[in-house]
Structure 1
Amino acid sequence: MGYADQCVIVVTSRPIDDPKAPLIVRSDVDTLIAELRALNDGDVWMPAGGQLQMAFMERGALDEIEIYVMPELLGGGLPLFPLTGFRASPKLVSAKALDKSCVRLHYRMEPKNAAEVSFAGSVE
């Protein structure tokens, strides 16, 4: 899968020592979300860790989530989503078995109190 014809935004908390292209730096997640909502060029796919996804969920900027379960025993590790007090009630849209025992779980995000979340656009 290539990204040659896609806009790619790299989100990192670490400096990039040898960037291959000019970098545009954002100071916070709210600025990034506002810019993504203004793009108007389709959905946003975020193959990211739980910390960034949780930041988007807390701001009502994540409409859906797909979780892939792969039966590998890795031992300890970080939680999928860090505990922040955010509450949501994800609704299962579909479950599909993929190759090599991988399962994709597709959820639609539904905040516990939708009145507290304002949606200026759709970011996935």
Structure 2
Amino acid sequence: MRKVILALGTSLDLHIARPNGAVDFLYMPKDLYPVQAAFFRRIDTAILGRKTYEDALAMGGNFSEWKLTYYLMTRSPLANPVPEVTVTSATPAQVVSRIRRKPGKHIWLMGGGELARSFLAADLVDELSFAVVPKLLGAGRPLFPQGFPEREFSLLRNESYGKGVIALTYARKRPRKKSR
């Protein structure tokens, strides 16, 4: 089955962006490049929320660069949507179901926090993958906004890289179905 993987960078205090949306505090040490390349070989689809989409465009984002299929989840129409991005107002479960009906690689839940919250609330996240940079922001957009039920994950990997960056990967620990 195609996994939904929430993967992004975060500060030590679990902010994925500054209050204004800037991500200038995030950096990738060179020894993390092969890890990122391996991640991109595992995925072929990305789902993102409106704020992440707008932030990416403001930073000159090029949606054709990574050769992924993109889904933008938003409740309001876009004035000038990027042709490489499919805009949808469907629920997280509907979007994931539509993607999983087709063969392919895993699905990157690209961000942001509100989108992560809605996918966690629907219990659709199979894996968490974070690069934690050693900075405290004190304020910003939270990695996990409140509003989803408790979820349990098992640690798959924890690795340290240059400049104090820690990469953490967790798998969703789903309750066992009771047998009769």
When normalised by structure 1's length, the TM-score is 0.72
The number of aligned residues is 113
Alignment partners' CA distance in 1, 2:76 and 2:113: 16
- Point out where structure 2 has 5 or more consecutive residues left out of the alignment: 1-36, 38-64
Q: Which is richer in strand?
A: 2
Query: After the TM superposition, which residues 64-83 of structure 1 pair with which residues of structure 2 at under 5 Å, given as runs?
Result: 64-83=127-146
Which of 10-19 and 38-47 deviates more? 10-19
What is the match of residue 7 of structure 1?
69
Alignment partners' CA distance in 1, 2:146 and 2:99: 25
Which of 79-88 and 19-28 deviates more? 19-28
Shift of 1:100: 2.7
When normalised by structure 2's length, the TM-score is 0.53
Q: Sequence identity, in percent?
A: 22
Shift of 1:15: 4.2
What is the match of residue 21 of structure 2?
none
Alignment partners' CA distance in 2, 1:71 and 1:49: 20
Query: Which SS does the other structure have where 2:138 is aligned?
Result: coil
- Point out where structure 1 has 5 or more consecutive residues left out of the alignment: 116-124
Shift of 1:33: 1.8
Q: Letter of the 1:20 partner, please give it.
A: V
Asked if 1:100 is matched to 2:163, the reply is: yes
Query: After the TM superposition, which residues 1-124 of structure 1 pair with which residues of structure 2 at under 5 Å, given as runs?
Result: 2-4=65-67, 6-12=68-74, 15-21=77-83, 23-111=86-174, 113=175, 115=177
Alignment partners' CA distance in 2, 1:66 and 1:9: 20
Q: What RMSD in Å do the two structures reach over aligned CA positions? A: 2.5
Which of 35-44 and 72-81 deviates more? 72-81
Query: Which SS does the other structure have where 1:8 is aligned?
Result: strand
What is the match of residue 119 of structure 1?
none
Query: Which SS does the other structure have where 1:35 is aligned?
Result: helix
Q: Letter of the 1:19 partner, please give it.
A: P
Structure scoring higher RCO (CA < 8 A, sep ≥ 6) equals 2
Shift of 1:87: 1.1
Shift of 1:85: 4.4
Query: Which SS does the other structure have where 2:83 is aligned?
Result: coil
Question: Which portions of structure 1, spanning 4 or more consecutive aligned residues, are displaced by more than 6 angstroms?
Answer: none
